[in-house]
Structure 1
Amino acid sequence: MKFFAKHLALASLSMLALTGMAAAATVTVTEPFSRATAPMAKVGAAFLTLALDQGEDKLLSASSPAAEKAELHNHVMENGVAQMRSVAAIPLVAGTPVQLQPGGLHIMLIGLKQQLKAGDAVPLTLNFEKAGAVSVSVPVKGPGARPATGADQGGHNGHQH
Structure 2
Amino acid sequence: MKTHILAAAGAVALFALSPMAGAHEFTQGGITVDHPMAFETAPSARAGGGFMTIANDGDEDDRLIAVRAEFPKVEIHTTLEENGVSKMVHVAAIDLPAGETVALEPGGYHVMFMGLDGDPFEVGEEIEATLVFEKAGELDITFNVEARGAVGHSDHDHDHDHGHDGHEMNH
Same-fold status (TM-score > 0.5) = yes
Partner of 1:144: 149
Is this contact kept in 2: 1:102–1:146, CA < 8 A?
no
Q: CA deviation at 1:80?
A: 2.2
Alpha-carbon separation, structure 1, partners of 2:143 and 2:109: 16
Q: How much does 1:40 deviate?
A: 2.7
Structure 2 CA distance, aligned partners of 1:99 and 1:147?
Answer: 12
CA distance in 1, matches of 2:76, 2:149: 21
Q: What corresponds to 1:99 in structure 2? A: 103
Q: How does 1:22-101 map to 2 (within 5 A)?
A: 25-54=29-58, 55-65=60-70, 67-101=71-105
Task: Find the structure with the greater CA-based Rg.
Answer: 1
Which whole-Å CA distance do the structure 1 matches of 2:128 and 2:32 have between them? 16
Write out per-residue CA displacement over residues 68-125 of structure 1, whole angstroms, 9 at most, x where no aligned residue: 1110101111122111111110000122100000111000001126211001111111
State the distance in 2 between where 1:111 and 1:42 align.
5
CA distance in 2, matches of 1:133, 1:46: 17
In the aligned structure 2, how far is the partner of 1:34 from the partner of 1:46? Answer: 5
Residue aligned with 2:152, SS = coil
Secondary structure class of the residue paired with 2:100? coil
Given the two structures, how large is their TM-score scaled by the length of structure 1? 0.72
Q: Is the 8 Å Cα contact of residues 60 and 129 (structure 1) preserved in structure 2?
A: yes
* Superposed structure 1 runs of 4+ greater than 4 Å apart: none
1:52, 1:96 within 8 Å by CA — same for their partners in 2? yes
Task: Name the CA distance, whole Å, in 2 between partners of 1:98 and 1:53.
Answer: 11
1:134 has 2:133 as partner: no
Q: How many residues align?
A: 124
How far did 1:143 drift? 2.7
AA in 1 matched with 2:84:
G
State how far apart, in whole Å, the 2-side matches of 1:78 and 1:100 are: 20
Letter in 1 for 2:120: Q
In structure 2, distance between residues paired with 1:147 and 1:32? 12
